[in-house]
Amino acid sequence: MCVKLNASNLYKVYSFKEAHNHYFVAEDDRRLLPANRGMNYMQEQAVNALSALNIGPVKAFNITRTLYGGFNKVGVTKNDFKNFKRDLNRYIFEFDADMMYKRLLRKKEYMPNFSMEYITTEDGILRALFWADEDAKRNFSVFGDVVSFDVTYRRNKYKMMFIPFFGIDNHNRKVTLGAAIIVNEMAETYSWLLKVFREAFGHAPPVIVTDQDPSMKKAIEDPWTEIRHMLCMWHIMDKLITKVLVLQSAIVQISKKRLCAIVWTDSILPEQFESDWATIMNDFNLVDHEWLQYGHNVRTCKKPKWSKEDASSEEGGEEADEGDEEEAVWEEIEEALDEQDQDEEDEEDREED
């Protein structure tokens, strides 16, 4: 077809041939036409299976391209893989919680020692879910003297929090004792969680370690009156610099060092602890500091029952041996918590990078 601009400033077709004299699409690019593109069953299964391994659609396409021997032999594009994954997520969006529940329920049916409990709202929305397998129960029977659990931040799209329960084995390594996801940190939710934990394992642990969350404290005190609830000293000392803002950073470091010397030990008498605490508070003018005074008032949650004073009693020998074992376990728990928090900080740094 040929056109030209006439005097009226309009285009006029002066020559037209109906027969085509060129291809609409180059032969090498015909595979990219929508009519020629389409994911087959094996490719769809590959995207679904690789997504279970945290491999996204782009990497899945690159893997498929390598297996097929080139871009031109895959039959689809990278965007087709991404669109399929998007449509798949959209399809299961309203059923993902139900899918997870049914998966765990099947495990409970075919694995007699598998425990799973959940609660929902009146509208059928998942509020909390707890599960523990046979390995977790075996770990609890051997290493369940001290159990610690902490709540992660709302890092997923559902705004739910993940709660791992763990202990420490004889190699000073963490062992999983169960897990849960919850939608809020209310005392009612924690009470339900601790109730199903006891039902799953048959009894409550002798010692449980948490942070200073008041909801956790209330939930533990109500149903588990016979256990010893201890606060994680690492979390407390880690907040010292941010809480005590009235002092210069150099002075805070000095006060923190002196505080660590009396709180990171179980080998001093209560009278000596009280005397050293009062001296530090007076030296740095922190007698009326609200946060430090609150920590001092709840010190019974941080200090085990055993001390030098117990060891000097008539039954001191036996209690001292028990105290040594508890002290060793406590130190292992603190080291494991340090490692966990350090891993979380490293992960956050990598996400920021």
Q: Which residues in the chain belong to E strands, given as ranges?
A: 2-5, 11-15, 115-120, 126-132, 146-149, 161-168, 174-182, 207-210, 228-231
Q: How far, in Å, CA of 38 to CA of 33, rounded? A: 10
How confident is residue 130, by pLDDT bands cut at 50, 70 and 90? very high
Query: Who has greater pLDDT, 137 or 246?
Result: 137
Q: Which residue has the higher pLDDT, 286 or 49?
A: 49
For range 286-300, the mean pLDDT: 74
Q: What is the pTM of this model?
A: 0.60
All residues at 6 or more sequence positions from 329 whose CB lies less than 8 Å from its CB, including other chains: 145, 146, 168, 207
Cβ neighbours around 213 below 10 Å, total: 16
By DSSP bridging, strand 146-149 and strand 207-210 are parallel
CB proximity list for 13: less than 8 A, separation 6 or greater: 1, 2, 3
Query: Does the pLDDT of residue 121 top 80, yes or no?
Result: yes
For the chain, the helix, strand and coil percentages under 3-state DSSP, each to the nearest 5: 55, 15, 30
HSE at residue 238, side-chain half, CA atoms within 13 A, is 13
SS3 47: helix
Cα(150)–Cα(161) distance, integer angstroms: 10
Tell whether the model's pLDDT for residue 221 goes beyond 70: yes
End-to-end CA separation in angstroms for the chain: 56
Tell me if residue 221 falls in helix, strand or coil: helix
> Could you tell me the maximum CA-CA distance found in the chain, to the nearest angstrom?
121
CB 168 within 8 A of CB 144: no
Q: What is the pLDDT of residues 304-324, one digit of tens each?
A: 433 333 333 333 444 444 445
- Both tokens assigned to 54: 């945290």
pLDDT tens digits, 76-88: 888 889 998 888 8
The residue-averaged pLDDT of 173-190 equals: 87
Distances (CA, A) of 317 to 268, 284, 325: 17, 39, 13
Average of per-residue pLDDT values in the chain: 76
What is residue 327's predicted lDDT score, i.e. its pLDDT? 53
